[in-house]
Amino acid sequence: MATLARTPAPALGRRQVHAVAACYFVASFAALGLPPYLTSILPELGDTTAHWAGLLYIVPTVFGGLAAPLWGRLADRYGRKRLLLRAQLGLALSFLLAGAADSLPTFTAALVLQGILGGTFAATNGYLAAGLDGTRLSWALTLMQGSARAALVAAPIVVGSLSPWLSPHRQYALLALLPLGAAAMLLALPEPREGIVLPPVRQEETRPGTAQRRLLRELYVFEFAFVFSTVISFPYLIALLGDRISGISPVVSGSLFALPHLCYLLFAAPVHSAFRDRPRLGIALGFTAVAAGLAGHAAAGSLITFTAVRLLLGAGLTLGLVCLSLLAADAVRGRSPGRMFGSLEFVSKGGAVAAGVVAALGNSAFGPTAPVLAGTAVALVTVAAAVHALFSHP
């Protein structure tokens, strides 16, 4: 007999989902826009050569990943809306502390708190999964990724534009207003009710839940590999561009950096429609495009070729992120959403940290080409795993 769990929660409306996406955007804005300026922040705090910039860049990621499973379980127990509010208020507190810090240890403590008290990814997705399911949930998760991509494109530009009047260090305190505003918006949203559902069980499985456990393993493996293979190209892309294209301007470099994320913003909706019923095919194609795009980075030597390989990487980024959202929407059926998305955030953050470490070591030993080659290798291995999953899935 199947175990009873929750009844379907009341569906969230389109306006409510868009409000959550807006909150996710503003929460991501400071978290994504200010770290690229650590090399200008740290000299104000006594680290004149910004020696600790690389380590501090991943501090919020590490502690965010460690804390995410706990916050996810607490959300399932005490309410997703409460924990989503907690995440926004936690970000506001950590940003205020970072903006007021007058020493490197205090600033580091603020970044640790940002990781521990934040966790908006798991909190937001857990909230949505409690009020949506199926295609509506996968589209909402796709929209959240779009919010993060938009913040990744816009935030560094805005922070740079404000820098002549307010240093990036002090902008932390100013941008604390964004998660505070998001928390105020969230107060108007409903708390999905608790109830009972039957976990999905495939009749052909010999034991109940076997298919769902396999699906969850696939999701975690693909998430880790995808984050690793895409994030590994971020830290040293500007250095690679400068090495290959003499006299390239910061504006052009920044545009090339943003290009894959712009691809996602433009094409996520049609990709979601096209691969709604075949996410594994999209994941296999996505990893193939990522592998080809990263390999192209190692060979590109002109503005035209770099534009082409960045667009190819953008195609892979879009296919992978959208189809991972589809897979996550399927995997969460019959599960506690806070717990699953907390674990997924832990896996995602682990992929990002591993990518940062490998990129740093590879760049130090072999130059800026090494990170993209490492990402290519991981993506190629994962293509084989994705193809196996595609043909072995009933």
How far is residue 348's CA from residue 10's CA, in Å, rounded to a whole number?
29
The pLDDT of residue 133:
81
pLDDT digits (tens, 9 = 90+) for 211-237: 778 888 999 999 999 999 998 887 778
Q: How far is CA 342 from CA 137, 323, 337, in A?
A: 16, 19, 8
How far is Cα 286 from Cα 298, in angstroms, rounded to an integer? 19
The pLDDT, as a whole number, for residue 266 is 94
30-34, 113-117, 203-207 — which is least confidently predicted? 203-207
User: What does the pLDDT read at residue 101?
Assistant: 92
Least confident of 6-15, 174-183, 273-282: 6-15
At residue 209 the predicted structure's pLDDT band, cuts being 50, 70 and 90, is low
- Determine the Cα–Cα distance for residues 75 and 79; give it in Å rounded to an integer: 5
Task: Give the residue carrying structure tokens 């936690």.
Answer: 90
Q: Is the pLDDT of residue 4 over 70?
A: no
Contacts of 206 (CB under 8 A, 6+ apart): none
Is 185 within 8 Å of 23 (Cβ atoms)? yes
The vertex-265 CA angle with 328 and 251, nearest 5°, equals 130
Neighbours of 139 (CB within 10 A): 22
Q: Residue 5: pLDDT band by 50, 70, 90 thresholds?
A: very low
pLDDT at 205 over 80: no
Q: Are 76 and 68 in contact (CB under 8 A)?
A: no
Closest to 123 measured CA to CA, from 151, 150, 88: 88
- The two tokens of residue 113 are 């708190």
The proportion of the chain whose per-residue pLDDT surpasses 70, expressed as a percent, equals: 92
pLDDT band at 272 (very low <50, low <70, confident <90, very high): very high
Per the listing, tokens 């820098």 go with 163
Q: Which residues contact 213 (CB under 8 A, 6 or more apart)?
A: none
Identify the pLDDT of residue 394. Answer: 55
pLDDT higher for 279 or 194?
279
pLDDT at 11 (0 to 100): 62
Q: Taking the model in full, what pTM does it have?
A: 0.83
Confidence check: pLDDT of 206 > 60: no
Q: Mean pLDDT in the chain?
A: 85
